[in-house]
């Protein structure tokens, strides 16, 4: 089995506090072995992208961390406590938005709080804050079919943040929107990471997107998957959003990851 390589593009001597730790995770579906002895740590307050070939188990890993799937072996800890199922410390942002088609924007954003038994006036007050934050004012009473793809995804993000979970799990959340909207979402995500002080775990197929938004990029091998490399780009993290894609380190890391993955692309 190949050893996991860790590449820190610019040295960083700070002690890292990990919010989520996956240890020796294996998962099989019948005869199909999706993950094999995968270990990966996720720094608190940062965004980690999970990147790899199609079918390598990225979403499976995310669902195990969410508590939606049980591993065949191994363990996930969130804030030092073993994951045994879904919990209020984690929120999931789905690729297909997963909105309630019969519910308004306000009801959709407040739905997680409703499930937790929060009183109607309180949950609607919290939901209204996130509706404003995500530029959805005026659409409180609109239904999902009346919203654009980008607006529906904003509703999904607002719902995830409204429950104040400390870990946000994002499964290719921008793949269903157009390129212009996707770039705007990427910029907004950088701001969210800085403002919210939450731990983001972000699954994507896009190398450019992963490097652009991430404090840490974990590259997975083809099935049965395990971590082949961890990259922590640091020199351009605090630059303006418009400057990152032109930064030499950004371009070098994108090329390096492509060289690592190209042999696995059919």
Does 131 fall in a domain? yes
Asked if 171 and 256 sit in the same domain, the reply is yes
| Total of domains in the chain | 2
pLDDT band at 129 (very low <50, low <70, confident <90, very high): very high
Please write the tens of the pLDDT for every residue from 80-111. 999 999 998 999 887 777 889 999 999 999 99
Please write the tens of the pLDDT for every residue from 192-235. 888 888 999 999 989 999 999 999 999 998 888 899 999 987 76
Domain of 236, CATH number, reads 3.40.50.300
Q: Which residues form the domain of 139? A: 103-164
Q: What is the share, in percent, of the chain residues with pLDDT greater than 90?
A: 52
Mean pLDDT of the region 122-128: 94
What's the first-to-final CA gap in the chain, in angstroms? 22
Provide the pLDDT for residue 193.
86
CB 173 within 8 A of CB 157: yes
Please write the tens of the pLDDT for every residue from 140-158. 999 999 998 888 988 988 9
Asked if 71 and 191 sit in the same domain, the reply is yes
Provide the pLDDT for residue 238.
66
* Mean pLDDT, rounded, of the chain: 87
Beta strands in the chain (DSSP E): 5-8, 18-29, 32-43, 47-51, 73-78, 81-82, 90-93, 167-171, 199-203, 216-220, 227-232
Asked if 118 and 233 sit in the same domain, the reply is no
Mean pLDDT of the region 247-255: 88
pTM of the model: 0.87
């Amino acid at each position: 089995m190949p050893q996991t390589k860790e590449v820190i593009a610019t040295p960083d001597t700070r002690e890292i506090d990990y919010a989520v730790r996956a240890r020796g995770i294996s998962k099989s579906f019948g005869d199909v072995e999706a993950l094999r002895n995968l270990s990966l740590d996720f720094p608190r307050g940062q965004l980690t992208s999970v990147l790899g070939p199609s079918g390598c188990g990225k979403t499976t890993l995310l669902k195990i961390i969410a508590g939606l799937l049980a591993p065949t072996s191994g363990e996930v800890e969130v804030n030092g406590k073993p994951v045994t199922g879904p919990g209020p410390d984690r929120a999931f942002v789905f690729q297909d938005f997963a909105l309630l088609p019969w519910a308004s924007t306000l009801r959709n954003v407040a739905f997680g709080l409703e499930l937790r038994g929060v009183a109607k006036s309180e949950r609607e007050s919290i939901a209204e804050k996130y509706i404003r934050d995500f530029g959805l004012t005026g659409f409180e009473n609109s239904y999902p079919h009346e919203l654009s793809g980008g607006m529906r995804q904003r509703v999904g993000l607002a719902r995830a943040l409204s429950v104040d979970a400390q870990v946000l799990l994002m499964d290719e959340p921008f793949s269903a929107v157009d390129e212009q909207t996707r770039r705007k979402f990427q910029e907004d995500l950088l701001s969210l990471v800085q403002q919210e002080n939450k731990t983001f775990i972000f699954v994507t197929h896009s190398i450019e997107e992963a490097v652009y938004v991430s404090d840490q990029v974990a590259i997975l091998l083809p099935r049965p998957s395990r971590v082949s490399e961890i990259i922590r780009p640091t020199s351009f993290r605090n630059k303006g959003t418009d400057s990152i894609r032109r930064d030499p380190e950004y371009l070098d890391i994108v090329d390096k990851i492509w060289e690592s993955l190209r042999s696995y692309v059919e």
